[in-house]
Structure 1
Amino acid sequence: MKLKKGMSILLVIAVIGGMAAFLIPHYQAESEKIHKLEEPLNDEGCLGLNYHRVKDGSVWNKGVQAMTNSDELTTYTVYSDDFEDQLDKMIEENATFVTPDELREYQEQGEFPPNCVWISFDDADKTIVDEALPILEERDIPFTVFVISGQVGENDFESQPLADWGDLRTLRDSGLATIGSHTHDLHKLAEENQDKAIFLEKENEDLFEEDLAKSVEVLESQLDIDVTEFAYPFGEGSEDLADISRAQGIEGTHILAPRVIMPDEDPHWTNRILLSTPFFEENIDPYLERNDPEAS
């Protein structure tokens, strides 16, 4: 019996160790650059809050996080109970939740409402449908999902299963989701420089242009929607790429940066804050409290 118990423990450790190997961050350069608050959040802006995964907060998932300290779990995953708490905090502090179109309308007016919040998700993995959508629907909160159109339905993308076309239609039919592009097949790092996305290399700008056109075409034909939003994988873009997006009819091009969106900023350079639970507690929670329009 003791031998079997010991073998079971070793098996669990081996499984977790194997998971850790897969969960070693593919995006460490990204998280190190864009997850550190360098200046206080401006109270006159709008919070662009970006999530990747919303996973069930099971003992297993949290145990793996504690044992591996995986960047995938600590930086790119929010547990469903924490996600609910964060949304409820926003509601409690009288947040105004906006769509990308409304975001630009407020920019044209030159002013955001207090506690303006725009929520987005990158990659469109299964957890957005299974975990996040019911929580958002219950609270009637609009959100944006950026889809890697050439990887839809992939079961092992960066060790994560992605939503399939049926899932994406479910998001569309919720009436709450805006669906945008996260490239067609360029969610990858440069071969010789693992600190930057492949499309940031000057010689790949034509490739980016072709890929974006393909992504828009596929999303529009599969989902019967107009695609007006694009978010850069790994969060970093360039002026030349923004010009390409603009020329293709994209109305909003979005980066990752730990700053609010300001009324006078270019819609093709929209900040989004990569959100983890500690970052929310340390920075977003106090921001919401001090900007509550109904606070005495």
Structure 2
Amino acid sequence: MKRTSRMSVLIVICIMISLFFLMTFVVFKQEHQQEKIDQKVDYTYRDFAQKNKNVKDGVIVLAYHRILKNNKTVDFAKKVSKNPQLQQYNVAQNEFIRQMKWLKKNNVSVWSTDELIKHSRENNIKGKHVVLTFDDIDTTLPRNAAQTMFNFSFPFTIFVITGQAGRNLDGEQMATWSEIARLAEHKEVTVGLHTNDLHYQVNNHPILSSGKLSKHTILEDYKKSQQKMKKEVSVNTHVFAYPYGSENKTLTEYMYLHGMNGIFLLEPGVVTNDMPDILKRIPRFIVTDSNFNQLGKWFNSR
């Protein structure tokens, strides 16, 4: 090999090594920043059942993100990464199936979001119920979770980032519009919105509640998400979930005045009768691999 050729190869190798270390540093920094935020939130909800043990008539809304297959690749990624996208916001497929079987075996009443909205408006929640929801909608929902819920005839709601369908978002492959449309064909499925292009953070703060966006930008994004959902899936949706659970009061008031029946956050809580404006701020219980037992404790408390 000529000297010039060897030099060219060495330069390319050096560039590749430099890029690798640069990417590793960026990923580490992002994960470290997110880890610090995540440490502020106790996803075990260890006191949840105890705090709500006296609530005899109520609804817990469960929020799932990713349902990951049980394989060596996923296990390895979880071990080497501190990213809460792998550590907190996912449930292993076998654990998810176990959870759905538990609901079925214990005759837990699984409501749709429509049923939740109806009974909340009528102040007619009697007994204990659960609502199943999924955020973002990456490919793990149609591939790893949906059939289990269809098998049990459990209703569930999907909150779609309309501007990201079919794309890669933060390392996760979003479901395509055709996959979302096939889900929407099932009577068990309610389709909701999760913004069009505002599912991101600036300086570790959700952009929607950061105060950095104009009212016009926020409302235009919402209108675009409605239009895109109607175009792609022929659905006029009436439920919305805030990215990262952080609300924007201007958007909430606008949506509620323009046909949005239920607006969901991400914080633990039980929906009960006579809670003022509860349909504007519906709490949700983020499910992980290990905290589902708190739900069981609440259902078993009498």
Q: TM-score if structure 2 supplies the norm length?
A: 0.82
Say whether the 8 Å CA contact 1:146–1:182 is kept in structure 2: yes
Q: In structure 2, what is the equivalent of residue 11 of structure 1?
A: none
- Aligned Cα RMSD in Å? 2.6
Instruction: Say whether 1:111 aligns with 2:134.
Output: no
Q: In structure 2, what is the equivalent of residue 89 of structure 1?
A: 102
Say whether the 8 Å CA contact 1:35–1:258 is kept in structure 2: no
Q: 1:26 to 1:245 in 2, by over 3 A?
A: farther
Residues in 1 aligned to 2:221 and 2:38: alpha-carbon distance in whole angstroms: 21
Instruction: State how 1:1-296 maps to structure 2 within 5 Å.
Output: 21=27, 24=31, 28=35, 29=37, 32-33=40-41, 35=43, 37=45, 40-41=51-52, 42-154=55-167, 156-190=168-202, 193-201=203-211, 203-265=213-275, 266-281=278-293, 283-290=294-301
Q: 1:183 to 1:237 in 2, by over 3 A?
A: same
Cα deviation per residue 1:34-92 (whole Å; 9 max; x = unaligned)?
73636523443201000000010113312321333431122111011100111111122
Cα deviation per residue 1:102-159 (whole Å; 9 max; x = unaligned)?
00111133232433010101001000100111111111111000011111110x2110
Structure 2: segments with no counterpart, 5+ residues: 1-19
Residues in 2 aligned to 1:114 and 1:52: alpha-carbon distance in whole angstroms: 27
Which 10-residue stretch deviates more, 52-61 or 203-212? 203-212
Which 10-residue stretch deviates more, 271-280 or 23-32? 23-32
Residues in 1 aligned to 2:231 and 2:249: alpha-carbon distance in whole angstroms: 28
Q: Cα offset for 1:288?
A: 2.4
Q: Cα offset for 1:219?
A: 0.2
Secondary structure at the aligned position of 1:116 is classed as strand
Alignment-mate amino acid for residue 21 of structure 1:
V
Structure 1: segments with no counterpart, 5+ residues: 1-13, 292-296
Secondary structure at the aligned position of 2:143 is classed as helix
Residues in 1 aligned to 2:107 and 2:34: alpha-carbon distance in whole angstroms: 34
Residues in 1 aligned to 2:158 and 2:32: alpha-carbon distance in whole angstroms: 22
Which 10-residue stretch deviates more, 39-48 or 27-36? 27-36
Residues in 2 aligned to 1:25 and 1:230: alpha-carbon distance in whole angstroms: 30
Which 10-residue stretch deviates more, 49-58 or 169-178? 169-178
* Higher-Rg member (1/2): 2
Say whether the 8 Å CA contact 2:59–2:131 is kept in structure 1: yes
Say whether the 8 Å CA contact 1:99–1:143 is kept in structure 2: yes
Q: Cα offset for 1:175?
A: 1.8
Alignment-mate amino acid for residue 168 of structure 1:
I
Residues in 2 aligned to 1:31 and 1:115: alpha-carbon distance in whole angstroms: 31
Q: In structure 1, what is the equivalent of residue 14 of structure 2?
A: none
Alignment-mate amino acid for residue 40 of structure 2:
E
Say whether the 8 Å CA contact 1:34–1:258 is kept in structure 2: no
Secondary structure at the aligned position of 1:278 is classed as coil
Alignment-mate amino acid for residue 277 of structure 1:
D
Q: Cα offset for 1:230?
A: 0.7
Secondary structure at the aligned position of 1:256 is classed as coil
Residues in 2 aligned to 1:222 and 1:233: alpha-carbon distance in whole angstroms: 21
Cα deviation per residue 1:18-45 (whole Å; 9 max; x = unaligned)?
6x93893785536734736365234432
Which 10-residue stretch deviates more, 248-257 or 23-32? 23-32
Q: TM-score if structure 1 supplies the norm length?
A: 0.83
Cα deviation per residue 1:253-293 (whole Å; 9 max; x = unaligned)?
11011112222232111111111121112x112112225xx
Residues in 2 aligned to 1:27 and 1:149: alpha-carbon distance in whole angstroms: 24
Secondary structure at the aligned position of 2:215 is classed as helix
